[in-house]
Structure 1
């Protein structure tokens, strides 16, 4: 075989090798992109999957009546404050020895771990079930201990009771000698960005499950 023929064969082999390498690289890039897309695209969980991970989503969000309360800065807190963002609403009280601080700490951990875009759409609200002791000033010290972004809400007993009932939350006063405590539901209500009761998260909360279920519900809810 002449040197020219050898050169042509060598060039042909090199082109073949380059094409093979290019095809392999393109294949790897496509696989990586598909893998990243699967990871980054929020899963749409079925109602059964949501329940398994501790969340209940209503088939139809529930409208509830307006209310008049105040936040920890003594500013009006009404139904309009629940519109435009998704709200996780927990009913508790500052003298609560275990469930409330545990839930608030878990919500703070979860909130800080949310992707920035999702966190901007989210607010966490503590509504006291003990307004006699939990004044705006008390909540202004208690709530920021868990997170500066969290909102504390108090007000008159009856409006709080009505609001809680509309979010399927029950609570009652339990006398203990010369003092008392509050027995209350431990779940966290979810209000969607239209201001409607969307579902709830069962206690005890787990940050990973909460992120999974919350992301699914937010990303698959049509909000114009």
Structure 2
């Protein structure tokens, strides 16, 4: 469980890391190989991810190899989220509708990873994600695995009690709102930062997919 000191450290790290990461992506945006993009900021050199294992909503394991062959947009959140998560998934669903005509074998994917396994059961997570778009992948894991996965993507999250006297099950989750873009090799290749523009996201992902990059 995170205490307030840990939360403060994480939020400072998030702000600092986001600034440095943004600078890296902005600097490399024009030099990155591939089509001209509107909202996806690409790394000049994609980053290999360390090994990870998550559990998908259909109870099958999600490992790095499962993400190969498609451009994938990753977002961390939780089903009890009152605003950022449903808004993000709704906006991504708008983008997903625009690339539905692409072949299923190469169609971009959206992966929603719950960082609240205490309350987000596998069944609830799948129902929640698919309520926005039927193709959205949903997964979670234990906290140590989620922390390692988030860290590998330069993301952070923290459990925050709603008050000193609140019951243990009364809390929220603070988390990064940045979306991570993985290339067809499963490497971290770019980011998308809020505010999101669904049409621009769709056009960028379609361009990347059809360019075969």
The normalised TM-score by structure 1 is 0.72
Determine the structure 1 residue equivalent to 2:152.
166
- Distance in 1 of aligned mates of 2:31 and 2:207: 11
C-alpha deviation, 1:217, in angstroms: 3.5
CA distance in 2, matches of 1:91, 1:210: 17
Structure with greater proportional helix content: 1
Which residue in the other structure is 2:5 paired with?
none
Q: Please tell me whether residue 99 in structure 1 is matched to residue 90 in structure 2.
A: no
Partner residue of 1:130? Answer: 116
Residue 209 of structure 1 aligns with which residue?
200
Q: Which deviates more, 183-192 or 118-127?
A: 118-127
Q: CA deviation at 1:148?
A: 1.2
3-state SS, counterpart of residue 66 of structure 2: helix
Structure 2 residues not aligned, in runs of 5+: 1-28
Structure of higher CA gyration radius:
1
**Any conservation in 1 of the 2:108–2:205 contact (CA below 8 Å)?**
no
Match of 1:102, SS state, is: helix
Q: Give the CA RMSD over aligned residues.
A: 2.0
> Residues 1-224 of structure 1: matches in 2 within 5 Å?
46=30, 50=37, 53-114=38-99, 116-117=101-102, 120-177=106-163, 178=166, 179-220=170-211, 222=213
Is the CA contact (8 Å cut-off) linking 2:90 and 2:132 kept in structure 1?
A: yes
TM-score (norm 2): 0.76
Figure out how many residues of one structure are paired with residues of the other and give that number: 176
| Displacement after TM superposition at 1:135 (Å) | 1.6
After TM superposition, give the deviation of residue 115 of structure 1 in Å: 5.8
